[in-house]
Chain A
């Protein structure tokens, strides 16, 4: 499936699921969102980056919103200090994005791999 429109729709759906999950405290929904992307998109080389992008955007957009509303600099600095990285405020930002990215990526990868294994005809 390489229809760009479909790709975008699936991507946005993944981002939306991820966002709703985060808002409800169900952060792990990013992973099922990745799974859905892995199911909805073939081949894997498209599904996996899409899943990663959905996870990344899902976790980055609320941060961006916080930045616009409150400014996350002091919070990032404080979190970095708590983590033992005083003065390196970028670390918690990167880590947050990485968590979202990895959840989406692994979800999509797992689904793609499972599809490849169970339904070789759909490769």
Chain B
């Protein structure tokens, strides 16, 4: 770049004045060109304008505003100062009434000790916001439909859907119905968050993502906290399975659909509540599968496509969590043992923040969700609890009857009824504000209008005072108090495992179990009133067990009850887990010996695939008389000597898993192709796998195995699938079966919450699969044990670990400092606040009002 061509011209150094003149040699004249200064000024103006523009506004979405972003004192670089771990210091928190002490362990675990309950929640709000403010803001924006405001139109579909579904409306209702205790807690929490927001703004310490996205967080409100609860409910319980069933029904026909996707699971299960059950007849009769009409299928297809296009996490896609307890009578220590590992999307930062909360009325320790004030999974001085998703059907679709003669109305219970309309404005970064009108029928919001107008009844839209419940759980000292607290829990429905210092154990599926008047709730139903949700299974009748004779309780998203249970609670088709983890856990816990904390930890990282243990011996047998090559024989021998553990060094694990996928394909793909099934088979593999398991074990001549008119048995299909799997692995990993280790084909990744690949962890070779207690479905697996906790009430020892760290700041040493411990199956002691004060490297904040 020539800054001043006139001045940079060829004047001799000793002619100072001449050198300053705009003189350019032309070859014909030495006269200065008078227009050069103007060009110079114009060039300076244009370049300056360009530099200032990029500095103020950036360049599209690729480049942020460079000035504020890279300002070393107030921009993104403040993450360096923010990354420093807490030191002993005094902080002034205006929302407090009394001094509060917060002690941080070396790994970041926070211990909040307050003199009043209100101050406890103020301090927790401050601490959460100090370490997770962007995560909290992102989560509330997602639920409130305000992501587009900060990321632009790319998030518009998500925002529209969330506002239609109604998390915001539900949160507003919950707030209006909250009791005084919850209101005090949520207001106090919001006050603490806002203290930090103001402080961060004042000191230019907002998390870096705010700087990069160019916005500042709005004040926190109790509604925001309730929205985050709604986010979690949605990701666990909002499903599209009835739409999938409608599409399967339309293509496969009602007979095959009801045969392959039955209400009751076809395979062996391990219900934790085996009965006896209440004797009254089922409220919802189990009807025969009817044929879905073309217009119903087209409507379901349109809505299914719409939901499939939403970002991950807005739709529940099957759960995977474990919890169990062992009574004092069966433990080495003599006290009750409890273990819990909820499986969620594994992100950095994690969904969890570990802390202890101590105040006059609360003494809880465990993990909380940033944005919410209470311990969700943990223990107090007398009881401990953890949870798994109950997986009962929580989402029902209704086709509303409309008529052009009755605009704005739907037909319900014999009369035309007005839709209620709610209007929203969605601000969009870089574009005009979007207006959205949401129609509400008696069933719920209308979420599909292509084809038949479809509304959705979702349990997550029932106001549920979860924070009141959790605060009462935190104060409970026995099972009666625990169970009574859960009476008011509506959604998401969870299996709450329980253990206490008296050696007692229990498990209860607290929450809403919708009762439908009739019809076929596994399909979209007519919205004319005959098939409405009319209530919930009575609390005394929901699945539950307390101090069973076996001295063990367990849940792993399996169907909680046996076939004699009189209520319809969902089908086997992806509402409930196939049950392999539950079967394995029950098998281990049922050993005729006393169990220890080490046994609990080992089971949480157990990689034994129960399904493989059932099927592999039959596969090996089927191959015995088959004409197979020497390398194939080697692969068969690996399977024959396998312990069914999905370890990274196991070649048999790779052979098994590849075989099972090939076995599914060889059995079902013919039907998928000939019937032109629009649902991706992988969406229903869990349900099909249960069928295949049952047929392989008990019905090897099932007609489904036949192909092209030729009868085949399970053995025939297994042999074909084995050869296919062998070829696939050989093509991918080479010709030596011994080298086909599971770690070469299976990995795990902890994804950065803001979807910045460089800030994710992995992919890294890892053990486990979708069926093992150490859940690791997919490749790379992005879901899994988000928190592992083991409690021994006999020794009063509490251990826990989650993959991640307490800070969302990627420059902080607390960003991913716990990952290796978690990865290696190790735990950290869960200290009390008093113990933490003496822990090496601890630092304390003295918070003053």
Contact = CB atoms under 8 A, between A and B. Distances in A.
B41 A96 contact: no
Given A43-B20, A44-B3, A95 B66 contact: yes
Given A23-B73, A31-B48, A113-B44, A78 B810 contact: yes
A114 B41 contact: yes
A78 B816 CA distance: 13
A102 B51 contact: yes
Nearest to A107: B48
Interface in A6-27: 22-23, 25, 27
A106 B80 CA distance: 29
Given A66-B77, A78-B79, A99 B66 contact: yes
B44 A109 contact: yes
B80 A75 contact: yes
Contact of B72 (A22, A80, A82): A22
A96 B78 CA distance: 13
A31 to B, nearest CB: 6
Nearest to B49: A106
Interface string A51-62: 000000001001
Nearest to A63: B72
B811 A77 contact: yes
B172 interface: no
B52 interface: yes
A82 to B, nearest CB: 5
Given A62-B72, A107-B48, A117-B37, A81 B758 contact: yes
Contact of B41 (A42, A81, A113): A113
Interface in A42-101: 42-45, 48, 59, 62-63, 66, 69-72, 74-75, 77-82, 84-87, 92, 95-96, 99
A111 B663 CA distance: 76
Given A74-B811, A106-B48, A69 B81 contact: yes
A120 interface: yes
A37 interface: no
Contacts of B55: 27-28, 99, 103
A116 B45 CA distance: 13
Contact of A106 (B22, B44, B81): B44
Interface string B6-23: 111000000001011110
B651 to A, nearest CB: 32
A31 B52 contact: yes
A74 B815 CA distance: 11
Contacts of A59: 70, 72
B4 A44 contact: yes
Q: How large is the interface on B (under 10, 10 to 19, 20 to 34, 35 or more residues)?
A: 35 or more
B205 to A, nearest CB: 12
A117 to B, nearest CB: 5
B39 to A, nearest CB: 9
Contacts of A79: 76-77, 79, 208
A27 B754 CA distance: 27
A45 B67 contact: no
A95 B56 contact: no
Interface string A32-48: 00000000001111001
B4 A86 contact: no
Nearest to A111: B44
B4 A113 contact: yes
Nearest to B4: A44
Contacts of B37: 113, 116-117, 120
B232 to A, nearest CB: 27
B212 interface: yes
A70 B84 contact: yes
A92 B8 CA distance: 32
Interface size class of A (residues with CB under 8 A): 35 or more
Interface string B177-218: 000000000000000000000000000100010001000000
Contacts of A23: 73-74
A102 B52 CA distance: 9
A81 B810 contact: yes
Contact of B77 (A48, A72, A80, A81): A72
Interface string B656-684: 00000000000000000000000000000
Given A75-B811, A86-B758, A70 B40 contact: no
Most buried by B among A28, A75, A103, A120: A75
Which of B55, B66, B208, B758 has the most CB atoms of chain A within a 10 A radius of its CB? B758
Given A31-B52, A116-B40, A92 B758 contact: no
Given A77-B811, A78-B811, A96-B77, A45 B4 contact: yes
Interface in B792-813: 809-812
A42 B20 contact: yes
Nearest to B52: A31
B83 A75 contact: yes
Contacts of B19: 43
Nearest to B212: A82
Contacts of A27: 55, 67-68, 71, 74-75
Nearest to A24: B74
A19 to B, nearest CB: 8
B526 to A, nearest CB: 50
B301 to A, nearest CB: 37
B484 interface: no
B4 A92 contact: no
B4 A99 contact: no
A89 to B, nearest CB: 11
A99 B67 contact: yes
Interface in B43-95: 43-45, 47-48, 51-52, 55-56, 66-68, 70-77, 79-81, 83-84
B41 A66 contact: no
Most central of A42, A78, A85, A95 by chain B CB within 10 Å = A78
A95 B70 contact: yes
A69 B83 CA distance: 12
Contact of A109 (B48, B66, B84, B812): B48
A79 B77 CA distance: 8
B221 to A, nearest CB: 26
A107 to B, nearest CB: 7
B756 interface: yes
A74 B810 contact: yes
A27 B68 CA distance: 7
Contacts of B754: 82
B621 interface: no
Contacts of B73: 22-23, 25, 62
Contacts of A110: 41, 44-45, 48
A117 B41 contact: yes
A28 B811 contact: no
Contacts of B811: 74-75, 77-78
B287 interface: no
A28 B77 contact: no
A50 to B, nearest CB: 12
A9 to B, nearest CB: 21
A48 B75 CA distance: 26
A87 B757 CA distance: 12
A14 to B, nearest CB: 16
Q: Which of A62, A113, A116 has the most CB of B within 10 A?
A: A113
20 contacts: A22-B74, A27-B67, A27-B71, A31-B48, A31-B52, A42-B20, A63-B77, A66-B80, A75-B79, A77-B811, A81-B756, A82-B759, A96-B72, A102-B51, A103-B52, A103-B67, A109-B48, A113-B43, A123-B21, A123-B22
* 9 residue pairs, one from A and one from B, having the closest CB atoms: A81-B758, A86-B758, A62-B72, A74-B811, A75-B80, A78-B810, A113-B44, A113-B41, A106-B48
Interface of B: 3-4, 6-8, 17, 19-22, 37-38, 40-41, 43-45, 47-48, 51-52, 55-56, 66-68, 70-77, 79-81, 83-84, 204, 208, 212, 754, 756-759, 809-812
Interface of A: 22-23, 25, 27-28, 31, 42-45, 48, 59, 62-63, 66, 69-72, 74-75, 77-82, 84-87, 92, 95-96, 99, 102-103, 106-107, 109-110, 112-114, 116-117, 120, 123
